[in-house]
Amino acid sequence: MPHVIYIHSNGERHEVEVPIGQNLMTAATSHDIEGIVGDCGGAMSCATCHVMVEEPFAALLPVPDDTENQMLDFTAAPREANSRLCCQIVMSDVLDGIAVRIADPQL
């Protein structure tokens, strides 16, 4: 099964197996990964699933749609060039090993 690495602001890393088709917010909350809140359940209305995607994976993701793009302007932690809402990142074979830094704070 593919896996994702969540990186906390203190550098701590958590590696989690994620089924193909599951988004990285759901994977994080179901594994109690601290720092990913996911208040809206993936409806793109809370921006509490803000992560920064490490290369080379950031370049493999589709560009954010208009709604994600707007929500990324209202995140609690400043937006970075590689900022994404992880509820919109859906695990696939090519994303196996993706590493995301968890934005701090989320609220």
Which of 18, 47, 95, 99 forms a contact with ligand FES (CB under 6 A)?
Answer: 47
| Phi, psi of 64, deg, nearest 5 | -65, 140
CB of 72 to ligand FES, least distance (A): 9
Which of 44, 95, 100, 102 forms a contact with ligand FES (CB under 6 A)?
Answer: 44
The beta-carbon contacts of 9-13 under 8 Å, at least 24 apart in sequence, are 9/35, 9/101, 9/102, 9/104, 13/99
CB of 93 to ligand FES, least distance (A): 23
The region of 44-52, 57-65, 74-82, 92-100 touching ligand FES under the rule CB under 6 A is 44-52
Closer to ligand FES at the Cβ: 11 or 107?
107
Should residue 42 be labelled a site residue for ligand FES when binding is judged by CB under 6 A?
A: yes
Q: Which residues contact ligand FES by CB under 6 A?
A: 25, 38-40, 42, 44-49, 71, 85, 87
